[in-house]
Structure 1
């Protein structure tokens, strides 16, 4: 058979198989599209289920207690008002508790990030005697139940004269949060190749300059994630604050419990309770609005160019 005949046969085979391939690809797209629609619907339903308690809290905070006590639920706050929020804010103890919680959370986040960052760098980038034992100790500390250390923590703070103080509570929180924060940051630091710093040093930067200009910006997602963990632990903690603080100094969780108990002395005003719960959640929402961009950004996206 001549070369022309072979070329013609090959061309006919290509032209015959190409439409078949296109039809097969289209069929796969058609069969895959319904599954994508189903997954999107399931994702939306899960998001609604997750967000509904938050919506119900805010919705109930807008309604008077008479409406909330009815057997028929009110899904939309038509005719609602901000009177419940005004009643909660009128109690001056809210702003005092807010200031205490913000102070403790700020101290815990800053100190934890500094200590955990340095420890994570030492574990990931250096080899030293006792390194493995240190890592095991960090994990072991996380296994200790917090309730078993209340008496020792109370006596320690009493001996240091730090009972009923922001510093005393912050020290206990830092000791509880730092181990896991070290473990979180260790994974982020280990995920950044040391070759990036070495390449920058070849270009004329010192080791410190290479770290600050190349590695440190890439650690931003890890620092944000660790900061969020430390913030939530300090913001939501209840039992340690209950042990170390008195009735005059309360964090927001203690204040919210006292507010509910005060309402229960007569009849619980659920509208005001929901308004108080919403006000406790607002700082967390604001915090996430500022840091969510860093959480979703890539760790080393675009760091290495081909």
Structure 2
């Protein structure tokens, strides 16, 4: 090892490899892991020390099957997993780096003899941490895909994301977001058509106008106007403080927005610790968009609320 470190300075570019992770910073925090125990089986202090001494320009690793391209302490860490077919099908956005492996199955290029290192690839989790950093001290906020494996979910935990953060999968490459969104939309359509049963415990809760106004006045909710004409209501009724997200025009397609627009929208939707309250055109009009948003934002449908009676109820009660 000492000889390798001594020779390091004589090489203009150094690339190192390992199967396991050299540092925890390239693994999502434990609360985000579908298999939380993975955090205890990803690397070693020995491997970490070797990489720190060699100081490579790039270190390629594997093991977690999460697409990742990020600089940590001056070293570029890259994971371009081939992953299992089931993983590529179920979560293409978090497997991928750039277009690899789903859209472009050719080996992922890391070095060109003429151009040198390739530009950074887009990976969902690495983009998430580049944007927000890590908060390991937060242990009581869980995305739905983790909370679903905890029965029951502790009353001290909240299902969702840290306030103002976009779900990690939406940072994934556009082509993969579209594929995953289409699968979610098709599944919700089948659910609403009665092809699958919706557990009553998972249905969105309803809220009365009085409680709605109280939550709104105290800033303890985010209001989402899902009427088809939410952007320009034909009846002239605008929802105070509401985010216009017309259904189905935008509820089914917002993941395909340009990256910056998508980020702004999602950070607005999840800006508060309180619930999302959906307002529709009338009774029953919010069920489908609520289930859809829950799936796309990785929330539980039961954690969303719908305004009983929709915008008409607001008019009726002044």
Band of TM-score, shorter chain: under 0.3
- After TM superposition, the score normalised by the length of structure 2 is 0.21
Richer in helix (by share): 1
- After TM superposition, the score normalised by the length of structure 1 is 0.22
**Larger Rg, first or second structure (1 or 2):** 1
